Structure 1
Amino acid sequence: MTEILQKRIGDVLLPGTRHSLEALGAKVKVAEGGAGAAVSVELGVPVGTLEGPLRASLSDLAAAEGAKLVHVEVASRIRAHAVQPKLQPLQNVRNIIAVGSGKGGVGKSTTAVNLAMALSAAGAKVGVLDADVYGPSIPMMLGLSGKPDSPDGKSIEPMRAHGVEAMSIGLLVEQDTPMIWRGPMATSALTQLLNDTRWGDLDYLIVDLPPGTGDIQLTLAQKIPVAGAVIVTTPQDIATLDARKALKMFEKVGVPVLGLVENMAVHVCSNCGHAEHVFGEGGGQRMASQYGVPLLGSLPLELAIREQGDAGVPVVVAQPDSPAAQSYRDAALQLAVRLAMRPRVTPGISASLL
């Protein structure tokens, strides 16, 4: 019965996804005793609200097999995943996720911040790196001000907001100071921000890239160990045209694209409830199908998202029960799932990461 139950548990779908526990690399252990069976499941994605539904699914499965579950343990352990050749994950950061876009104005930074909040709410240890050195917006979106500490005059402590660590060039200069830098200076600033920040033990570091496919994106691909990329677009054709360029860029430099996020997909009138596709409909899904990458989620065009970003409290934190927050949580889950299905780092780099 133990072997049968263990095999059947591997076939159980993770709630909210179409993927089985076995496909996600979950570690399943079953032990039988006089009173019944005990099951432990270790997932490679943040557990969060999945624990209750997964427990129910396991109990139902055991009952169908004629077994009684007396103990169910569900936990998560985020592993380090493979990065570009000749690079290795950072010592304290298991997975760096780049969030990019082909053009500006598609809500990339808002998406990056709320995905980070959603992963953190699910129980992961998360950081955010603002790589847009010319137009840093993460400090305002997270409600951060002041200067970070430097305990030794060489490294800097990340600032913290809403349960996540954060670093941005915007925290090191005055708010209205323009970054009048040529490409090499900007790329040097990015690598310094990443390497000189005293990151804690992180499961995910979300990197908010500037729009386009320029120097900073190339530096990221060549010098920074990236486990995967997410492309943000809006449904309109001109946005998906530019998003295609970003997607192809990541493919050419060997960074796997985990999926697309379609932002501003639909607006629901707060007065009458009428849904309208202001920027077109289905552009993200068509692009995902054309290039064989998953559509991680479609996010709404909603006033509260903009208002909460300006107020420094992302909507996932400020209004966790709202449909908008749920959309971000759904997208974050799909992101974590796609990463969990990627190859892990080769053995022998750092025991703390494996």
Structure 2
Amino acid sequence: MLFKNAAALETAASIHTVVMDKTGTLTRGEPEVTDVITAGGRQEDELLRLVAAVERESEHPLAAAIVRHSRARSMASASAQEFVNVPGHGATATVDGRRVAVGNRRLMEREGVELGPLAARRDELAAGGRTAVIAAVDGRAAGLIGLADAPRQTSAQAVAELHALGVETVMLTGDNRATAEHIAARLGIDTVIAEVLPGDKAAKIAELQRDGRRVAMVGDGVNDAPALAQADLGIAIGAGTDVAIETAGLVLMRSDPLDVPTALRIGRGTLRKMRQSLGWAIGYNALALPIAAGVFEPALGLVLRPEIAALSMSGSSVIVALNALALKRLRLPEAPPPPAAPPQKAPARPVTAGSPSGGAR
């Protein structure tokens, strides 16, 4: 991890709440298509072809997953015209002369599209922890595409370590509430703030700060940059965008959420050592200076010879240095070992004619 300045290290020691973006931070950021549900008698391949044409123009991870899925099925591609990106909602475009809208429930409300029977199917996908992308063609609901993004291996442990530090955890996401709450329950996160537009993330951080809490924000995308700047401590995932990394005060080079509680422990340990060293220095000088000035000589005959004073000062510096080196003994969270691969079976020995086990019976 990289602390950009001393202020970031000091702030890490006083964090009360850690806010984490979902996609790419708590999850791998590599969603995969799990379900394709059509409506109105539309064919699955036709729906995917239209949706992929729109999503090919987008940079969102969900869009990239849909495009990969359509390519894996070797489907014929289509081109999109009049593409319009709607931040936090989805996108619209014209494909083969038809207006195609792809996004979330808010985009459908904006387009005046009624989901009808698809609304229940969308709730089923969300209840299972999957994100439902809604597709509409010419103002009519055409289908749903379900996507799942697996949590990172260390996300649950990172949340548990933050709780051990007495830090509240918050998930901040633009995803629908049912999906976000499913993942939050799986990871043990305290609070979920869902269906947040990209431009509103910084405002949500400010709301938490108005309650008197010192807030750290963990994110990786361009949309997270204002929230990273608003937070008391911005923490960027190393694999994130350049804007996020530039804005944050702390960068996690391994893109591992377990490094978040590690950073807070380092901050607290460093601040504790600074206070101990400062207390030692003040106490030492408060005692040594009066002796060196001869204050106690008339009454006690206590004096501090120059050579002894020099040795004492050197000893004080040694003690402070050794106290700082004791930071190496700081207990830091450790990631669990990766699951062992199943044992490989030895290949069967070929049996040839004439061998002891290959004769005729």
Q: How does the TM-score come out when normalised to structure 2?
A: 0.30
> Which protein shows a greater Rg?
2
The structure richer in helix per residue is 2
